[in-house]
Amino acid sequence: MFTIDAHLDLSMNAMEWNRDLRLPIATINSREAGLQDKPDRGNAVVSFPELRKGNIGLVVATQIARYVAPDNPLPGWHSPEQAWAQTQGQLAWYKAMEAAGEMLQVKDLDGLEKHLQVWQDNRSSNEQKPIGYILSLEGADSLVDVGYLEVAYEKGLRALGPAHYGPGRYAQGTNATGKLGPQGYSLLAEMERLNIILDATHLSDESFWDAMDHFNGPVWASHNNCRALVDHNRQFTDEQIKELISRGAVIGAALDAWMMVPGWKRGLSTPKGTNCNLEVMIDHIDHICQLAGSTDHVGIGSDLDGGFGKEQCPYDLETIADLSKVPDLFAMRGYSEVDIEKLMHGNWLRFLRKVWS
């Protein structure tokens, strides 16, 4: 089934992990043998061949670069200008992949429909089709000031999460506390003017509710799971999920094991040891469906290779192509073919068509 993945850090993997995503996944991993600079070396699960194998023809692909103040221990850049330059290098990689025929930026309704026609054409194999990408910015720190947002929009930016991990220049993120800053309100107003989608993922609880009070544009959550199943501030409470449902949002289920099963200890826990498989992702999706009373607000935003690899994925997922197992698992819970299509691509498409109409 045609699949949309609403969160992949492709340019980060290319530029910081130095992975040539055009290569077979085995080749990428073999080239990392012996490397220890990243925790997931040799455990990659995402490559262009695997996306095509899984019929994943459209993704939301990120730019990401955090600014860190002197007292911030998180990895990042020491000035917003450096962070901006990093995101522009990431954008240059996307453009190089477009020039090579590997990817195609999708930024409006006409482009979306044309791209879908290409992937629905069974006369050519997936190997010949470019992977569509919608450009998203994960964390707004790299926007030197709000005026940079229009520059980013002109380059194709269509979704933005104001925060990532820790305190941010515009909002507070995972493991941080507090509302938006003054720049955050200006950012939301400019996003609304430009019709940029607000990605609620990673917002601290206070920043989440503050953003909901001040933003009237389109909202989604590209990669987020349920706090009722894994109790951590990275996850959404039922009240937050209900708020997103009321705003017509779609929430993408993430496949990072620590977000899927409670009690995960990085470097110690294993997917099999915690019984973390794709069924657990369905648990989180089902929870949202029960709160909504429908399947209209769920999708996939896998976050695969988002700073972790096979060592921290469901044990029944060897590569991202194994998202093709999800329809049968969803069906086993009693969901219909129509429901499955909504999960795999339909809800994201309905959302985008409404926003871009």
Of 118-122, 139-143, 314-318, the least confident: 118-122
Query: By the 8 A CB rule, do 348 and 5 touch?
Result: no
The pLDDT of residue 267 is above 90: no
Handedness of CA 235, 237, 239, 241 (dihedral sign): positive
Query: By the 8 A CB rule, do 138 and 164 touch?
Result: yes
pLDDT (average), residues 75-90? 97
d(CA 30, CA 102): 22
Q: Which residues of 129-166 are buried (b: 16+ CB within 10 A; e: fewer)?
A: bbbbbbbbbbbbbbbeebebbeebbebbbbbbbbbbbb
| Contacts of 19-25 spanning 24+ positions with Cβ under 8 A | 19/44, 19/47, 21/46, 21/47, 21/48, 21/97, 22/47, 22/48, 22/49, 22/97, 22/100, 22/102, 23/47, 23/49, 24/49, 25/49, 25/50, 25/319
pLDDT tens figures, 142-193: 999 999 999 999 999 999 999 999 999 999 999 999 999 899 999 999 999 9
pLDDT tens figures, 272-288: 999 999 999 999 999 99
pLDDT tens figures, 6-43: 999 999 999 999 999 999 999 999 999 999 999 999 99
Average pLDDT, the chain: 97
pLDDT tens figures, 39-76: 999 999 999 999 999 999 999 999 999 999 999 999 99
pLDDT (average), residues 217-232? 98
- pLDDT value, residue 165: 97
Split at pLDDT 50, 70, 90, the class of 303 is very high
d(CA 290, CA 273): 28
pLDDT tens figures, 246-255: 999 999 999 9
Measured in degrees and rounded to the nearest 5, phi and psi for residue 41 equal -60, 135
d(CA 143, CA 152): 9
Predicted structure pTM score:
0.98
Share of the chain above pLDDT 70, in %: 100
d(CA 102, CA 278): 28
Token pair of 356 as six digits: 């871009």
Token pair of 244 as six digits: 């997103």
